[in-house]
């Protein structure tokens, strides 16, 4: 008598996000919800959603398409509102082109202003430091500036 082989079963824990859950996530993203909102709604942790996106390319593509569609729809809504209310246009400018249009605190310095000021500072220091130390001083100042930028 020959033994009948049983089909191999998958090992490990079953996925926390099934096809129905994935469809709901895509629906929430298409409506403009965040990935956190979608994860909460389907009852999983956000990290589980992120891992599923990394493992399932088809699902990742659908999720990205849904997010982009929602983004385009919302941009269109703001643009339509801007035709009748300048504040909608100002809001869009502040967020889309932050460097040029965002409100700045009094005394705030742009990165370009900081770079120009730093360059003038290095020149001033080099004017009083012997020439043989210029490269070393400039390197030291660059290191300190990088530390400030990273802080």
Q: What is the pLDDT of residues 68-99, one digit of tens each?
A: 999 999 999 999 999 999 999 998 888 888 77
Residues 120 and 74 in one domain: no
**Which residue reads 């895509």 in tokens?**
26
Q: Of the candidates 67, 85, 103, which is a domain's last residue?
A: 85
Which tens digits make up the pLDDT trace of 8-43? 677 777 778 999 999 999 999 999 999 999 999 999
- Residue 5 resides in a domain: no
Residue 75 and residue 30 share a domain: yes
Whether 134 maps to a domain, the answer reads yes
- Single pTM value for the model: 0.59
Query: Within a domain: residue 46?
Result: yes
How far, in Å, CA of 35 to CA of 28, rounded? 8
What whole-number distance in Å separates Cα of residue 137 and Cα of residue 11?
Answer: 61
Residue 67 lies in a domain: yes
Whether 100 is in a domain gets the answer: no
The encoded tokens of residue 84 equal: 């009748």
For the chain, the domain total comes to 2
Residues 81 and 115 in one domain: no
Range of the domain at 141: 111-150
Query: In this structure, are 72 and 126 located in the same domain?
Result: no
């Amino acid at each position: 008598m020959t033994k009948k082989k049983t089909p191999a079963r998958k090992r490990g824990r079953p996925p926390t996000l099934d096809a129905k859950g994935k469809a709901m996530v895509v629906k929430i993203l298409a409506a403009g919800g965040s990935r956190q909102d979608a994860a909460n709604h389907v009852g999983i942790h956000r990290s589980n959603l992120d891992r599923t996106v990394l493992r399932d390319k088809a699902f990742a593509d659908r999720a990205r398409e849904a997010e982009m569609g929602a983004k385009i729809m919302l941009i269109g809504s703001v643009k339509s509102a801007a035709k009748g209310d300048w504040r909608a246009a100002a809001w869009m400018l502040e967020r889309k082109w932050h460097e040029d249009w965002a409100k700045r605190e009094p005394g705030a310095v742009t990165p370009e202003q900081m770079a120009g000021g730093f360059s003038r500072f290095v020149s001033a220091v080099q004017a009083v430091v012997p020439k043989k130390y210029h490269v070393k001083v400039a390197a030291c100042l660059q290191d300190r500036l990088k530390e400030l930028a990273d802080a």
